[in-house]
């Protein structure tokens, strides 16, 4: 019973950390973007630039995660990331200076990497050492819950508070989330054995597999980030769907919340790479549906498909890293995120320029879908290079 209670607390700490670092520190900007464009003088291309800077911070955080092997240092940096998420959120509401916003978005990106990579690595390591499934589906519910929280909070607040006050109130919500997230994750165990006495053994894939995998994940990063950044503004611009962007964002969060658990089950039945290929193809469809035809139904179906796949894809990739490298999962997590993060720097800035030139985000969406489709083809090519063996702990019960 103690082990089950401890597992629940550890997973809950991970969920709450992602609600803070990914939900509030990262995704609050998506529904806040049109509000700040209307009331804070933020331009369209400047909004894309802030998103790119956020991902540059995330990329730098991924580099740090890839370079550090010491679990104690990772734990300290992870906890610093929780604090940084709060500081950068309130910072967005304390200034209207674009350069200070940029600094906040960069530091918020670092905190996102702390929650996503360091936190995921610490929790995956704890699960494997204590005889649980080496899966992160429950942990990644925090991303969807964070999106839902921000969508509901901002939709509820905007009639009563200005954009500055909304950032401050989001920070206060974050404080209540951070306390259990901090307290419920135990200090890391540095031994090389599980509680059952089994030795953790790395079973890395080939260099060719990794290179192709990283390119495919770059494509996934492009597909993910356009909708993640501009979905609210995109839907609000579609004829007949004005004001529906925040609802699309809420649907994305609701779909994302249970999705990683579902993809864990699919991966357990058909293999993680097959699950990844399926999620990638569905995400292409989800990205395209809102712009193929202006329809409320198609837009919301697209939001469900997008929300139901993007968290699952990240979860599957990071779980694969844990299975290939159980002694140091953040190493591969960091390398893969370098590819994903590079795409997230380039794509929002380019999308912002395309949107400013054309007057809408449709061309950017088509670009995202095309590159995402290319990534799906690359994932199919990976099937021929998929490792035949995995870590002996990949199926721990």
Q: Which residues does 228 contact at the CB level (< 8 Å), separation at least 6?
A: 27, 30, 310
- State yes or no: pLDDT of 397 exceeds 60: no
pLDDT band at 191; cut points 50, 70, 90: low
Does residue 191 belong to any structural domain of this protein? no
Does residue 135 belong to any structural domain of this protein? yes
pLDDT top residue among 369 and 321: 369
- State yes or no: pLDDT of 310 exceeds 90: no
Domain range for 14 is 2-186+196-385
Tokens 């799906």, located at residue: 376
Q: How far apart are CA 392 and CA 167, in angstroms?
A: 46
How many other C-beta atoms lie within 10 A of the C-beta of residue 397?
A: 5
Does residue 200 belong to any structural domain of this protein? yes
Encode the chain in three state secondary structure: CHHHHHHHHHHHHHHHHHHHHHHHHHHCHHHHHHHHHHHCCCCHHHHHHHHHHHHHHHHHHHHHHHHCCCHHHHHHHHHHHHHHHHHHHHHHHCCCCHHHHHHHHHHHHHHHHHHHHHHHHHHHHHHHHCCCCCCCCCCCHHHHHHHHHHHHHHHHHCCCCCHHHHHHHHHHHHHHHHHHHHHCCCCCCCCCECCCCCECCCCCCCHHHHHHHHHHHHHHHHHHHHHHHHHHHHHHHCCCCCCCHHHHHHHHHHHHHHHHHHHHHHHHHHCHHHHHHHHHHHHHHHHHHHHHCCCHHHHHHHHHHHHHHHHHHHHHHHHHHHHHCCCCHHHHHHHHHHHHHHHHHHHHHHHHHHHHHHCCCHHHHHHHHHHHHHHHHHHHHHHHHCCCCCCCCCCCC
% of the chain surpassing 90 pLDDT = 28
The whole-number average pLDDT for the span 108-125 is: 87
* C-beta separation of 341 from 58 below 8 A: yes
- State yes or no: pLDDT of 279 exceeds 90: yes
Quote the pLDDT of residue 390: 47
Does residue 395 belong to any structural domain of this protein? no
The whole-number average pLDDT for the span 4-21 is: 90
Written as six digits, the tokens of 101 are: 């916003």
pLDDT band at 278; cut points 50, 70, 90: very high
- State yes or no: pLDDT of 303 exceeds 70: yes
Q: How far apart are CA 71 and CA 192, in angstroms?
A: 12
Relative orientation angle of helices 207-237 and 329-358, to the nearest 10 degrees: 40
Per residue in 61-91, pLDDT (tens digit) is 888 877 887 888 889 999 999 999 999 999 9
Q: How far apart are CA 95 and CA 44, in angstroms?
A: 18
Encode 139-208 in three state secondary structure: CCHHHHHHHHHHHHHHHHHCCCCCHHHHHHHHHHHHHHHHHHHHHCCCCCCCCCECCCCCECCCCCCCHH
The whole-number average pLDDT for the span 220-230 is: 83
The whole-number average pLDDT for the span 377-395 is: 66
Per DSSP, what are the bridge partners of residue 199? 193
Q: How far apart are CA 218 and CA 343, in angstroms?
A: 6
pLDDT band at 165; cut points 50, 70, 90: very high
CA 24 to chain centre: 12
Does residue 296 belong to any structural domain of this protein? yes
Mean pLDDT of the chain: 83
% of the chain surpassing 70 pLDDT = 89
Q: What CATH number does the domain containing 276 carry?
A: 1.20.1250.20
Q: How far apart are CA 110 and CA 209, in angstroms?
A: 28
Quote the pLDDT of residue 198: 57
* C-beta separation of 191 from 339 below 8 A: no
Does residue 390 belong to any structural domain of this protein? no
Does residue 284 belong to any structural domain of this protein? yes
- State yes or no: pLDDT of 1 exceeds 50: no
Does residue 342 belong to any structural domain of this protein? yes
- State yes or no: pLDDT of 34 exceeds 50: yes
Domain count, the chain: 1
């Amino acid at each position: 019973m103690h082990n089950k209670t401890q597992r629940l607390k550890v997973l809950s700490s991970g969920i709450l950390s992602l609600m803070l670092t990914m939900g509030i520190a990262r995704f609050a900007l998506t529904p806040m973007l049109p509000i700040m464009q209307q009331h804070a003088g933020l331009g369209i291309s400047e909004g894309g630039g802030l998103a790119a800077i956020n991902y540059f911070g995330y990329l730098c955080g991924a580099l740090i995660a890839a370079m550090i092997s010491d679990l104690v240092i990772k734990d300290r940096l992870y906890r610093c990331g929780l604090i940084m998420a709060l500081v950068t959120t309130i910072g967005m509401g304390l200034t209207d200076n674009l350069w200070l916003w940029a600094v906040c978005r960069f530091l918020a990106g670092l905190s996102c990497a702390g929650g996503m990579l360091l936190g995921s690595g610490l929790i995956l390591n704890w699960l494997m050492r204590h005889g649980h499934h080496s899966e992160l589906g429950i942990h990644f519910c925090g991303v969807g819950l964070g999106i839902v929280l921000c969508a509901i909070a901002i939709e509820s607040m905007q009639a009563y508070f200005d954009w500055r006050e909304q950032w401050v109130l989001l920070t206060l919500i974050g404080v209540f989330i951070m306390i259990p997230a901090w307290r419920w994750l135990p200090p890391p165990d540095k031994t090389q054995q599980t509680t059952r006495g089994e030795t953790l053994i790395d079973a890395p894939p080939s260099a060719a597999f990794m290179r192709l995998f990283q390119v495919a994940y770059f494509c996934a990063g492009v597909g993910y980030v356009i909708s993640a950044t501009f979905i609210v503004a995109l839907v609000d611009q579609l004829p007949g769907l004005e004001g529906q962007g925040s609802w699309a964002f809420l649907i994305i969060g609701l779909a994302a919340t249970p999705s990683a658990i579902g993809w864990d089950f699919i991966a357990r039945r058909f293999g993680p790479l097959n699950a990844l290929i399926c999620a990638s193809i569905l995400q292409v469809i989800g990205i395209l549906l809102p712009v193929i035809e202006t329809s409320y139904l198609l837009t919301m179906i697209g939001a469900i498909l997008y929300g139901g796949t993007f968290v699952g894809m990240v979860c599957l990739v990071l779980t694969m890293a844990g299975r290939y490298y159980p002694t140091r999962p953040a190493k591969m997590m960091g390398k893969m995120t370098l590819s994903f993060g590079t795409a997230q720097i380039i794509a929002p800035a380019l999308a912002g320029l395309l949107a400013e030139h054309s007057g809408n985000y449709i061309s950017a969406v088509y670009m995202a879908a095309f590159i995402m489709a290319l990534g799906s083809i690359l994932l199919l090519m990976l099937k021929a290079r998929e490792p035949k063996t995995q870590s002996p702990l990949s199926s721990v019960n």
